[in-house]
Structure 1
Amino acid sequence: MKKDLKTRLKRATRLFWLLLIYVVAALVWWFVALELQNRQMYSLQLYHLETTVSREQQPSLYDAELARIREGHHRNTIKYAGEGVVFLGLILLGAAYVFRSIKQQILLQEQQENFVMAVTHELKTPIAIAKLNLETLLKHQLDEQKQRKLIQMSLEETKRLDFLTNNILVSSQLENKNYKLNKEEIDFSSLLKDRVSEFSQRFPDRIIHSDISDGIDVLGDPLLLQILINNLIENALKYSERKDPVTVTLRKENDAVVMRVMDEGIGIAEEERSKIFLKFYRVGNEATRKKQGTGLGLYLCEKIAKDHNADILMTNNNPKGSIFAVKFNS
């Protein structure tokens, strides 16, 4: 699939350059033809002047007409050159815009195809696990402890499905401006504690620390804020080792409410930080591409933050890892 996209990009690039060379060549030929015509007119006017006005008998008239002819010739040359430069500039600007648009469209298509593949994989995995667990429960007489374990595993997989479908649906609705924000005064401290508690239950083998100040309220949409928290904690767990802790904090700082999610994982390279909030974008090193994901999480986080008059920033966590901070402005 990627090979096919690269082939199409090369083909489109070759066609683009051929068309651009043809247009520029046509423009140059147009200028040359006009300049040749201008010189022919200049020669004809000089010939007409020589045959109609005597330089010896009417020197002042002859000099005046000669100056007028030369000025017209010079003015036309400047006019054609100026028009040629303007047209060439417009052609090059348009060509650069078209080339950039083609490249972006092909890259976006590649990202969308990768997204579809990732979503398909992430949908099939929990469905397959839940189906296997339910079939096991039906076919075998298991003791209560094993039944509870299989049911719990199935519930975890349905939560993964719910998390994924929420991301996809909300992303589409926010992008198309079909989502109606239901802002209300929310006990953000309680919401964040609930999210941390659920992740601790889902991942009992992971270390999740929290330092959440009580009684902090924000004005916002409960579902969107829950998705924001889920995505940040999910990313922190996904891109750090099992032994590495994840820390979630919430504090009031001056007139703002600041939530931070800190991990001690692989971090994000400097050159990729400007791209991490783009739709479908996934960090490009091999260590992270092996992780499951759709490239929607951080894109959604930034959209949700903006809708709540908040800023989201990423910084390094010393000695390693990342810190994502969401600052709710009053």
Structure 2
Amino acid sequence: MATKILLCDAPDGLAVLQYALLRSGADLEVEGAPDGFRAVELAGRLQPEVAVCEIDLEGLSGTELVRRILATSPGTKLLCWTAVASAGSAAQMLGAGATGYLLKEDGPDDVVRAVAAVARGVGVVLSPKVARLLAERFAESLRRDQELEESLAEATGRLDALQAAKAEFLANVSHELRTPVTVAKGIAYVLRNRDVPEPERGEFLQQLEASLDKLMGIVDEILTIAELDRGTLTLNVQEVDLAPLLRHLAEEAARRYPQHRIEHQVPDPLTALADPARISEVVRQLLDNACRYSPPHETVSLRARVLDEGVLVTVTDHGLGMAREVLSRAFDEPFSTGERVLRKERAGVGLGLHLARQLVVQHGGVMWADPLPSGGTRVSFCIPADRGQRVTAPPLFAPDVPAEPGTRA
């Protein structure tokens, strides 16, 4: 019994296929259709064993043509015969139900062999070139899946680390908040005794004020980080001489940490575009961090200079030092305290370096840090001196400020 074959192609393609099938000598009953709609009509009437279709015809074509023919004649094995050498197109056609995908560049004899193969019940038939393209696409898909799995694992690891850091942050906050609150409660209890001598009362009040200032500082840090994360932080940027501000901050640090030598070297004037209050927060964070890292009687230096890129400010300590990966994490993650090198009582809340860096970025500047070979850490930032400028990378020439003797605060 003759095998019924349906062909669908432009007239030239039909002629080539019909001649090749006729020349094969097989017992075939062949019908041709010059467009997709005619092919669907013939498929419903003939119920062919095999259909060979060009998928790139005008009108009904592509996956829609494949689906309609197979819907009309479910038992038909459909072979795509096309000039479209695309792994994506082949995947779409096979996904729509096609049994094979052959290229016209391979010649009509491949179609004859494929017709005989699918009529005998062979599975999917592919052009060698298409098979190679599909294999390459599959390999690429596997590679992307592997990369996605690795990225997902990395993201999961970062998320776990962040969750752990947040838990540590909450523990640190509890500790840092409890200390000034406990001190304030104790002082309040003592001051209820009216027999406390006036000089002692004054000392207690100073301690109470210091505890409340520390408490307010912690709360302000947390609120500022929240504003930065929400994108609602606004700066009062103006042209300002940073020299007196930096000297005042050095003197303030010297009073707060009398066991350290605080040196400053700041030229006059030191003009920059800055929000004085926010830049004060930055420098205060850096000085506080440097003093907490440094052993007693070590020197902490604050230096500044004017570069072509803008104003450079550097804070250097001579403490235990921090590894570059710890510094990077402290800059990038708001809950990192550098616990690898800090004792618990020195760790603080864990917002300092991250907060300082974010405020510098808001000024259009850049902050970076360098562990020193002899021990200690140098943290620097550069902000633009002129309106409309941005500093996107550390200046090419940004070593420590020249070796003139600094002023001790």
Please indicate the TM-score interval, normalised by the length of the shorter structure.
0.7 to 0.9
CA distance in 2, matches of 1:238, 1:282: 12
Cα drift, residue 223 of structure 1: 2.1
- Written as runs of structure 1 = structure 2, the 5 A alignment for 1:170-181 is 170-181=224-235
- Cα RMSD (Å): 2.8
Cα drift, residue 307 of structure 1: 1.6
Structure (1 or 2) with the greater helix fraction? 1
Aligned mate of 1:320, from 375, 383, 404: 375
- Written as runs of structure 1 = structure 2, the 5 A alignment for 1:273-284 is 273-279=327-333, 280-284=335-339
Aligned mate of 1:304, from 335, 354, 359: 359
State the aligned residue count. 275
Cα drift, residue 213 of structure 1: 2.0
Moved more, 290-299 or 82-91: 82-91
Structure (1 or 2) with the greater strand fraction? 2
Aligned mate of 1:65, from 90, 112, 129: 112
Q: Deviations over 1:193-251 (max 9, x none)?
A: 22222222223333212222232222111221111011001100111111212111222
Q: Which consecutive unaligned segments of at least 5 residues does structure 1 have?
A: 1-48, 54-60
2:159 aligned with 1:110: no
Aligned mate of 1:162, from 197, 201, 216: 216
Residues 239 and 288, structure 1, Cα contact 8 Å, conserved in 2? no
CA gap of 1:206–1:179, structure 2 versus 1, over 3 A, is same
Instruction: Specify the SS of the correspondent of 1:197.
Output: helix
When normalised by structure 1's length, the TM-score is 0.74
Q: Deviations over 1:147-174 (max 9, x none)?
A: 2221111121122112211111111101
Instruction: Specify the SS of the correspondent of 1:276.
Output: helix
Q: Which residue identity is paired with 1:142?
A: V
CA gap of 1:328–1:74, structure 2 versus 1, over 3 A, is closer
2:152 aligned with 1:98: yes
2:306 aligned with 1:252: yes
Instruction: Specify the SS of the correspondent of 1:139.
Output: coil
The residue number in structure 2 matching 1:141 is 195
Instruction: Specify the SS of the correspondent of 1:178.
Output: coil
Moved more, 269-278 or 221-230: 269-278
Cα drift, residue 79 of structure 1: 5.5
Residues 239 and 265, structure 1, Cα contact 8 Å, conserved in 2? yes
The residue number in structure 2 matching 1:203 is 257
CA distance in 2, matches of 1:134, 1:263: 37
Residues 247 and 261, structure 1, Cα contact 8 Å, conserved in 2? yes
The residue number in structure 2 matching 1:185 is 239
Q: Which consecutive unaligned segments of at least 5 residues does structure 2 have?
A: 1-23, 29-107, 118-124, 386-409
When normalised by structure 2's length, the TM-score is 0.60
CA distance in 2, matches of 1:147, 1:185: 43
Instruction: Specify the SS of the correspondent of 2:347.
Output: coil
CA gap of 1:84–1:135, structure 2 versus 1, over 3 A, is same
- Which is higher, the Rg of structure 1 or of structure 2? 2
Residues 156 and 202, structure 1, Cα contact 8 Å, conserved in 2? no
Residues 220 and 308, structure 1, Cα contact 8 Å, conserved in 2? yes
Cα drift, residue 131 of structure 1: 1.4
CA distance in 2, matches of 1:63, 1:294: 74
Could you tell me the percent identity over the aligned residues? Answer: 22
